[in-house]
Structure 1
Amino acid sequence: MASEKGLFFQDPPQLTNTFEADPSLRLQLERLFPPDQLESILPPLRELGELAAGSLQALAVEAERDEPELVQYEAWGRRVDKVRISPAWREIHRIGATQGLMATAHEAQLGWRSRLHQAALIHLFGPSSAFVSCPYAMTDGAIAVLKRYADPGDAERPLRHLLSRDPDEAWTSGQWMTEKEGGSDVRRASTVARQEDGVWRLYGNKFFVSAVTAECALTLANAQGTPDLSLFFVQPWNADGTLRHITLRRLKEKLGTRALPTAEIDLEGVEARLVGKPGDGVRLIATVLNLARFHNTLAATGIMARCLQLAKDYAGRRVAFGRPLIEQPLHLETLAGLQVEYEAGLAIALRLAELIGKVETGVASPLEAGACRLLTPVAKLGTGKQVVRVASEAIEAIGGMGYIEETNLPRLLRDAQVLPLWEGTTNVLSLDALRAIARQDALRPFLEDTLLRVAQATTPELDDAVKSVRTAVKALGRHAESMAKGGRSDSEAAARRFALGLFNTYAAALLTEAADWEVKHGRSRRLAVAARRWIGRGLTDLAATDEKHRAESRLLL
């Protein structure tokens, strides 16, 4: 636009209601919900979409500017270890509770589709939450663990707070697992739990504690007399904001998620309650990890959606060489490629929500339960790689101003970069997928479910997509047999490419299934185009690895 002096000022990209601006999300929800349930969830989704584009986004910007601060000493020299948090961060927490981000899934008013409803809410909430979505992910896991495994008397009060829609009553939970010795290898944890006067107390160091200000936490420790790790529930804070037998060493300075208070702490006899049986901690904490990976997937799709909304809006506002960017063929192709990435990631995320909901409510078939086990790491690793690509390309699509902090676009890229790391890197999750295949026979139901996604597709223009999915499934099955016959080193070296092949193929099947529904219901053919382009990139890269190949890799390094 031009000022009164005739100077030119470029209109920045604008956010509008993020639910209304996302036809992909709306179409998938229409496909997955019966009409009466869909009608019931649309008003809260529209409300949250409006908040995400307005006041919630403004709070996120303020929380990023006013980063957490560790106050170790009070004026008279006493050690207090308090964390000063932005009022904006606390207000985002209150909005999340009011919107029912935790309650929606666990109240299960829509049966197994309650997980789908929650997924849509978190998808909209995340990009405008200054990563309050992280403690919500851990809270979701804590709720599930306490409901399934904790003593009912111990769990009743925490669950009431963790599930509350009242912002004055609502709690969030942390998870304290990472230690310097172990990292992703949690079995190397050195924290110990001792029974003193009939009470469990924890001693040790937790190196990476996200959302340290959460009202409670789950943590692993070596319990007296038990060879394996046990799971404990902790309430670390006193009412006056001081810690209970915990020293807060430092807050971590991170590339992104800067409003999220991440700390290193020393446990110095903090009281804890045992959850489940002694020595069963690693198995029980898997529930938390799997739900965190589900939330990680939703965080990735949420950021992709936000990047696309901004990039597409800007493309209609920015004129260069006589035409808006959106009318320029190369720019149009770039944005279309990003849209295909998003369509695939969104389809995966919602399918994972569907399967988790069915497993939790006891209506999943054995095939669906098996598919869910393998899809959880595969969805997380695939969307984690996608979101970094999409966020980087979106900034490039906006140009130099996309690199300027005041536009808030760099935050999206910084925050995206945590998603391939949080709750398991791509390599860690690729190996987890191999374990699920070897120990739980998870590949067979996963590939069968992949084929079922396209079994009913009868739209002629999708014939090639169906054939491509079936061909890829056969190739993945043959490669899995080959890996099983080979050595462990060969399998592990190929694990990343194999896991990404699973992701690409399952996404292709889901896009084909949704595209068939879209055409049969008289809608556009957007998803048919998305499926064709996604498949056109190639679904599998299954080149074998052997000792010669690994020797060459060592030579390169």
Structure 2
Amino acid sequence: MRIEEGFQLTQIPEPNPYPSDLVLPSLLRRLLPASYCKTIDADLFRFGERITNEIRQVSELAEPPSLTQYNHWGQRIDELRTSEGWRKLKAIAQAEGLVGIFYEREFQEYSRLYGFAKVMLMVGDGQVVFCPLSMTDGCARILEVMGTPEMKREIYPRLISRNPDDAFTSGQWMTERTGGSDVSQTETIATPCSSSTAHGSEFKLDGFKWFSSATDSDVAVALARTGPAKDGSRSLSLFLVPLCLPLLRPAGTPRPSSTSNGILVHRLKKKIGTHIVPTAELSLNNTEAYLVSKLNEGVKSITPVLNITRIHSAIGSVGSLRRALSLAREYATVRTVQGGTVHLSNVPLHVAELAKISIIYRALAHLVFGAVHLLGKTECGVATSDEERRLRLLTPVAKAFSAEKACTAMEECMAALGGQGYMEETGIGRLIRDCLVEKIWEGTITVLSLDLVRATRDRTTVEAYAKWANAILSSCPTTLHQDISLALATLRTVLTEIIGVFSQPDALPPLVPRPALMLFSHVTASLYLLEHAIWSHKGNESEHKTDAEVFIRWVEENGMKAAGDDVRRMMESGVQRQNDDMAIVYGSAGGKAKL
């Protein structure tokens, strides 16, 4: 039989990702002022068409980078080559304003919602291009807030430029061999120079950066030691580092090698996923850099970068799930079973599994865009103090919870396509591999759970969260309350429990922070889903009954009870459980937990 003969699989339809999404359009209608909705909605529709008709094809051209360290004369050149697809995807994102929108602020505090909506639509086909763009976003924010006048005039405009020919991207260099999130043992030393450059106080950096993403960027923000090592993270300062010199060159001038600024690329990293991103080990050898922060305030100064990249990470998780779910949902409309007589979309058992994934996607999307909304308000100076406190809680929560839930849900999307889902051509495998990094990059879930505990040490932060939560609960109209009363009662009970857990954060048993973050995430996502269901009900939206059902199922069926059980179990645990953990992992001779 010829391959063209016999049964032929039907190709999955590829609809415009914006109007076909069951979450984003209504979520934005709720959050955006009516005066902005029409313009933003039209641009998201246009951008969705570009994703379908152009970006998806460009994505196919992306290939892993390569590194040539020496030329045939034995000279060190460290020539990094990236693929045409990678470069085009970056250029498209820049031209679409997927850094610029955030800082042009045409839509004021809602610019973050608009820009991140575009990011989420493109993430699934973007080949992790938002890794460097997220760090560019963070770098732009640092220069906007604390850069020197010269940095603001000459470098900041390039970081937010929509012209790919002169736009800059930025890396972020913190990780060294001594640790990931723990920067207290940073070995990179910064030595002040006798004179200043046009960009500010000049230093020379010497050290080794072990995990440097976006090695093809133009600049990087880096931590280096400007005080005694015994002071740990308190003696670090923040620097802007050109990857090659001169940094500012006439248009069309070839890019010099990184060796021009004493940066040697030791090797490209071999990673499980994100193969397209040029991630490298770098040595800094008398490398020119410019002081951004005040001396020895580097950790505090780099916080805006971490907050922004954590939100990007959360959007990456949710956007990847959005793409995988879209593939699974559309596949069910064309794949027939039972002798070709029934589509999978009409098989109740199959649709039930897709509904479970869809509820997870809806919960994560509302949680993450809740944080995005607060970020936009905070950056524009219109957030209340209570909203700023809530953002402090939501940033680690949105990042950690999205990373935890998205990959598992994407595995179910893969299974929903059967054998086709396991094929590389569908892209779900790549999405899962790439998304796994979100459980590690910018803080593991355990690290972020400890960050949440630190945030709750400010009593007013917990009080602000409780006030917001109770305001949403009390706003539920009677006509909706009667339909969701059991879920509301459950949510009220668990809300009281999690607020009680964080009432004395310094007294928490050592095994509580991670399960507490999970329970806090479940509760917060529930509150956002409830807020949306209330809005939908009051406005008699076409999906108002579905929105209420999503809230009910999320509260009752998606792990909140189990998360609460975990917290209670760990609250009651003592050192014996820790010793038992040691024995389970290392054997009975492995020692005991240290008190």
Q: TM-score range by the shorter chain?
A: over 0.9
Residues 517-546 of structure 1, C-alpha deviations (whole Å, 9 max, x = no match): 112222222211111110013424222232
Partner of 1:152: 149
Aligned residue identity for 2:376: G
The change in CA–CA distance for 1:7 and 1:220 in structure 2 (over 3 A counts) is same
Q: Distance in 1 between matches of 2:14 and 2:284?
A: 44
- After superposition, the Cα gap between the structure-2 partners of 1:482 and 1:177, relative to the gap in structure 1 and judged at 3 Å, is closer
8 A Cα contact 1:221 1:229, kept in partner: yes
1:201 to 197, 200, 204: 204
Look up the SS of the partner of 2:274 in the other structure: coil
Q: Relative to structure 1, is the Cα distance of residues 347 and 204 closer, same or farther in structure 2, using a 3 angstrom cutoff?
A: same
Contact 1:518 1:527 in 2 (8 A): yes
1:242 to 233, 237, 257: 257
The 3-state SS of whatever aligns with 2:184 is helix
Preserved contact between residue 451 and residue 469 of structure 1 (Cα < 8 Å): no
Report how many aligned residue pairs link the two structures: 550
Return the alpha-carbon distance in structure 2 between the equivalents of residues 132 and 45 of structure 1. Answer: 19
Question: Which residue identity is paired with 1:365?
Answer: T
Aligned to 1:136: 133
| Paired position in structure 1 for 2:113 | 116
Task: Tell me whether 309-318 or 75-84 shows the greater mean CA deviation.
Answer: 75-84
Q: Tell me, which stretches of 5 or more residues in structure 1 are unaligned?
A: none
**1:313-352, aligned counterparts within 5 Å?**
313-321=330-338, 322-352=341-371
Deviation at 1:102, TM superposition (A): 1.0
Q: Deviations over 1:48-85 (max 9, x none)?
A: 2122223111222220xx21001111232211001101
Match of 2:487 in 1: 465
Contact 1:222–1:230, Cα closer than 8 Å, also in 2: yes
Preserved contact between residue 487 and residue 556 of structure 2 (Cα < 8 Å) = no
After TM superposition, the structure 1 stretch with the greater mean CA deviation from structure 2, 368-377 or 440-449, is 440-449
Q: Retained in 2: the 8 A contact 1:251–1:264?
A: yes
- Does 2:237 match 1:230? yes
Partners of 2:52 and 2:490 in 1: how far apart?
39
Equivalent of 1:182 in 179, 182, 202:
179
Q: Distance in 2 between matches of 1:44 and 1:336?
A: 29
Higher mean Cα deviation, 423-432 or 543-552? 543-552
- TM-score, normalised on structure 2? 0.89
Q: Is structure 2 residue 534 aligned with structure 1 residue 516?
A: yes
My pick for the range that moved more, 69-78 or 178-187, is: 69-78
Tell me which residue corresponds to 1:312: 329
Alignment match, 1:551: 579
SS of the residue corresponding to residue 350 of structure 1 reads helix
Letter of the 1:102 counterpart:
V
Pick from 519, 525, 528 the counterpart of residue 548 of structure 2.
Answer: 528
Correspondences of 1:62-101 after superposition (within 5 Å): 62-63=61-62, 66-101=63-98
CA distance in 1, matches of 2:553, 2:401: 17
Residues 391 and 416, structure 1, Cα contact 8 Å, conserved in 2? no
Deviations 1:371-427 (A, max 9, x none): 100100001000011111111110011111111112222111111211111111100
For the Cα contact (< 8 Å) 2:132–2:170, is it kept in 1?
A: yes
* Structure 1 residues 509 and 320, CA gap change in structure 2 (3 angstroms): same
Higher mean displacement: 306-315 or 454-463: 454-463
SS in 2 for 1:8: coil
How many percent of aligned residue pairs carry the same amino acid?
32
Distance in 1 separating the partners of 2:186 and 2:351: 50
CA distance in 2, matches of 1:233, 1:105: 21
Quick one: which of 385, 393, 397 aligns to 1:366?
385
Q: Which secondary structure does the structure 2 equivalent of 1:193 belong to?
A: strand
Contact 1:201 1:272 in 2 (8 A): yes
Contact 1:209-1:263 at 8 Å conserved across structures: yes
Amino acid at match of 1:215: D
Over 3 Å counting, the alpha-carbon distance change for 1:288 and 1:355 in structure 2 is: same
Distance in 1 between residues matched to 2:112 and 2:367, nearest whole Å = 14
What stretches of structure 2 of length at least 5 have no aligned partner? 196-201, 246-253, 586-595
- Retained in 2: the 8 A contact 1:206–1:264? yes
Q: Distance in 1 between matches of 2:31 and 2:86?
A: 33
Q: Is the 8 A contact 1:427 1:496 kept in 2?
A: yes
1:12 aligned to 2:19? no
Distance 2:350 2:392 in 1: 39
- Are the aligned partners of 1:151 and 1:276 in contact in 2 as well (CA < 8 Å)? no
Q: Is the 8 A contact 1:451 1:509 kept in 2?
A: no
Instruction: Find the counterpart in structure 1 of residue 310 from structure 2.
Output: 293
Distance in 2 of aligned mates of 1:98 and 1:52: 14
Q: 1:212 aligns with which of 198, 211, 215?
A: 215
The DSSP-based 3-state class of the residue aligned with 1:270 is strand
CA distance in 2, matches of 1:159, 1:422: 25
Other-structure match for 2:592: none
1:271 counterpart SS class: strand
Q: Is the 8 A contact 1:457 1:466 kept in 2?
A: no
Aligned-partner Cα distance in 2 for 1:68–1:485? 48
